[in-house]
Chain A
Amino acid sequence: MIQLENIHKVYRTKTIETTALNNINIHIKKGEFVSIMGPSGCGKSTLLNVMGLLDEPTSGKVIVADQEVANYNSKATAAFRNQTLGFIFQSFHLIPDLSVIDNVELPLLYRKVNAKQRKALAIQALESVGLKNRTGHFPNQLSGGQKQRVAIARAIVGQPDILLADEPTGNLDSVMGNEVMDILLQLNQTLNTTIVMVTHDENMAKKTHRLLRIYDGSQVA
């Protein structure tokens, strides 16, 4: 489902050159739930961003859902991201001016789905994360765990093949963290969604199929 070959990512400024990713080769199969661990600043998030087509590698090949998107223009990449990928962020990144349901509808809005269908799908997604009764609320009226569940609903509403989660439980206490983790595991099992999750938490990582360890930009396990 996701194939990375010889991925290098180098950040250059006028005076300094930092290698964020060094010769990464990863192959993630469809339906796999993979976690990525490593110390802060080792390049985990950069790796996830490269997988999610949010960032381009300096060199190497990225193949997502059998597509090599390096040659896509920005519009085609945007459409591909919209169809294939869903994102969950550590700090939720819900849009404060939009209600819960409007936040969840966002990916469908850019897929030009009509309003009625958007609403139905969004309610369905919210139901699957147990927040059906919060549709009219705004993000600032929700707890951290609820926010992250809304973010998960937003990520899955378009039924993407791949879900990329960047420390989804990082800002949550253990109870809420477990709730969120359970939802992800359930998605993986019931819908066979491929999930890649960056985490600092060994316990969470143990629940996934496979663990990748990154150290100073290189894959060590």
Chain B
Amino acid sequence: MIKNYIILAWRVLSRKKFFTFITLFGISFTLMVIMLLTSFLQTEFSQKAPLKNLDKLLFFEQITLKKIHLDTVTQIDTSYIDQVAQYDTTYTTKETGTDMSRSGFGEEILQEQFTKLESVEKSTIYNSTALFDIFQNNNKISVSVNYCDPNFWEIFNFDFIEGRPFNASEMSQELPVMVINSEFCKKYFGRTQNVLGEEIKLEGKQFQVIGVVHKPNVSMEAVNSYAFVPYTVFPKNPNDTYFFGGYQMTFLTANGLDKTRKEMDFVSSQISMDKHDYYEVLEIVPKSYQESYAQNMLYNDDPTKSLRWMRIILFGLAGLFVTLPILNLINLNVSRIMDRSAEIGVRKAFGATKMEILTQFVFENVVQTIIGGIIGLGLTFIAIYLINDSQILGSVKLSIDLLFFIYSFIIIGIFGILSGLLPAYRMSKLQIVNALKSIKL
């Protein structure tokens, strides 16, 4: 029976070539978009090295200081009572403007206020803004350097190709040690291992390589630096103040993000603004990984709103890309199956049950969808290759893994069943006499 279904499905598809082409194109293109989206989300938001703790992390990226200008407006109303002038004076205070300064954190405020939070298991302070050009074999390499502390390695779980991270004692002794990533290692040494003990000169200082990590496949800037050094080895930037500098901080929360957010709010509200001679209000907004990502993508001030918008955009797009083709497919299928009503009449006359008719048509659709799915997978491979090759997403490389395959096939299956079920159900209920009246066969 199943063999017959498959043969029939194949013949039906090959009989109306143009129709089949349109349908298959719709299915495969839609699937490609969904698969690309899935692949992108998986690459950016799945828990993998160095973001195995992704859901427990909170980020301090920027600090905002504000001064709100208030102005007093004096309003004098004059009225004459018995030809004597009476003055009624009103004073109102209004906000006439806000001065605002936003930047990375100063190391001091982070060290002093946020290293001992109760709801935090571990935290790390780092500065990933530095960029140096070095020359190797007449080639210029732009090296992004992350000045960090030893906790950085415990919060971000990098995969080491060889060697180890630096430790607290190396940090306190201000030893010039360096962990580099595989991309830089390849560019500098021409290989990705057997470089431990080698030296790299940066800003006139010789650094000894003590570890090599795999380059992470996420777009987060701080973990994508070429080199990581203890932040004590370079003198402090003279322009840094108590509040402002180039530092960021990441927290590994102990009991969920909300608890830590509350504690952070409380600590922030207790910080005295006496240390600043101009600004009066302090604003620190901790962000989750997703919020930070959404904010960077949408350039919105509010991280929560950004995340909401990013979700609306992503799911809206995915919804559109799934719903429209399914409706279209159902429409195409209904007209195609209607065309075959006489066939259904004949089959029923010769003993086919409703269930058998239903199965036949759903089966045809599943076959059609699977073919579309396979073409879609092919298109996805090509699209991923082109995207990675052109580096549209920066250094992030999209990939196809097992889970991704499973997701895709589930989507294909749902597609096949949904788009075949409704028309097939309608046709299976058709009265034989009415079905046979159609002489189109």
Residues on A facing B (Cβ under 8 Å): 49, 52, 54-55, 74-75, 78-79, 81-83, 87, 89, 91-98, 102, 106-107, 109-112, 115, 154
Contact = CB atoms under 8 A, between A and B. Distances in A.
B441 A109 contact: no
29 contacts: A49-B433, A54-B349, A54-B432, A54-B436, A55-B432, A55-B433, A75-B354, A75-B355, A81-B351, A87-B350, A89-B436, A93-B345, A93-B346, A94-B441, A95-B441, A97-B11, A97-B12, A102-B4, A102-B7, A106-B346, A106-B347, A106-B350, A107-B350, A109-B4, A110-B347, A110-B350, A110-B352, A111-B351, A154-B350
Contacts of A154: 350
B348 interface: yes
A82 B436 contact: no
Nearest to A157: B350
A107 B345 CA distance: 13
Contact of A75 (B4, B353, B439, B441): B353
B22 to A, nearest CB: 19
Given A55-B433, A98-B8, A106-B347, A74 B354 contact: yes
B343 interface: yes
B94 interface: no
B353 A93 contact: no
Contacts of A98: 8, 11
Residues of B in contact with A, size category: 20 to 34
Contacts of B348: 78
B433 A81 contact: no
A110 to B, nearest CB: 4
Task: State the main secondary structure of chain B at its contact with A.
Answer: helix
B392 interface: no
A91 B439 contact: yes
Nearest to B431: A55
B352 to A, nearest CB: 5
Interface in B237-255: none
B366 interface: no
Given A54-B436, A81-B349, A97-B15, A110 B441 contact: no
B112 to A, nearest CB: 79
A59 B425 CA distance: 29
Contacts of A110: 347, 350-353, 356
A91 B439 CA distance: 7
A54 B433 CA distance: 6
A78 B352 contact: yes
B84 interface: no
A60 B45 CA distance: 70
B342 interface: yes
Contacts of B15: 96-97
B1 interface: yes
